[in-house]
Amino acid sequence: MKTLMSSSKQTSMMSRIITIFVGIVCSLLLQDASASVVSTGDFSKDFFVNWSPSHVNTSLDGTTRSLTLDKDSGSGFLSNDKLLFGQFDMKIKLIPGNSAGTVVAFYLTSDEPNHDEVDFEFLGNVVGQPYTLQTNVYIDGFDSREQRIKLWFDPTKDFHTYTILWNIYQIVFMVDWVPIRTYRNHKDKGVAYPMKPMGLQVSLWNGESWATNGGKDKIDWACSPFIASFKNHKIDACVWEQGPESCWAGGPDKWWNNERFNSLTWAQRRLFRWARKYYLTYDYCQDNQRFNNTLPQECLLPKY
């Protein structure tokens, strides 16, 4: 979708909106957050390397980490705990230059055949073309719920915060606190919703068969190694193993399940509409041809 206002005016407007919105969100979270934080801020303590340790580099203090992809292997790491509901933040700086065919993933997964999964996938591109950010939701092993946006900044120049809020009411995908997608809990209307405990996983891998231009633009290995960087992670969630029944509760230490987080706020709705109006490039809920004019039921229900 083409931006309908000048870049300078749009950037100025966005800056003002985000400043107001972040202040509101931070004040709300500070009121509700308590002893729910699972993460220590140390990658070495909160995660284990589950794919190619030689391609994972962590700072001495554990606060930053990078993943590498080359001809030999991709790489990845996974949270130590299984979690049910919470908020998950990660600052990410993506691969610069020619990143075509590469995929950086930041996601929750129950990691089983009929698994639940909530995905951020960053699809690399050739020089001069923007990254595509794809989100997806798997439930009981079924996906086909892709949405894609172009970002309003260059994600290779600096770190930006990517957030998944997952509670008993909704899933909200956020970029620098701007909601870009929701998936609501409409189980009372017969719509499936992720309910399995999941681990938080990060990976960098070869997706050249599909990721860029439908798989037409392959990885240029002359540009490798490809490196993505991560820092300032925060896992504010319920640990499944410590008492799964309590994960359904609200209260000070389960703030994400409190009623005030049952929908987007007015400020979030404004940002949500802005992001989708100017940056959405694909939404499965608008793909009538794919679903033979019978869209999935959640597409016909409220987004917030």
Task: Give catalytic status of residue 298 as yes or no.
Answer: no
Task: Give catalytic status of residue 121 as yes or no.
Answer: yes
Catalytic residue among 117, 146, 241, 298: 117
Catalytic residue among 112, 121, 241, 245: 121
Crossing angle between the packed helical segments 7-32 and 266-279, to the nearest 10 degrees: 140
SS (H, E, C) the chain: CCCCCCHHHHHHHHHHHHHHHHHHHHHHHHHHCCCCECCCCCHHHHEEEEECHHHEEECCCCCEEEEEECCCCCEEEEECCCEEEEEEEEEEECCCCCCCCEEEEEEEECCCCCCCEEEEEEECCCCCCCCEEEEEEEECCECCCCEEEECCCCCCCCCEEEEEEECCCEEEEEECCEEEEEEECCHHHCCCCCCCCEEEEEEEEECCCCCCHHHCCCCCHHHCCEEEEEEEEEEEEEEHHHCHHHHHCCCHHHHHHCHHHCCCCHHHHHHHHHHHHHHEEEEHHHCCCCCCCCCCHHHHCCCC
Active-site amino acid positions = 117, 121
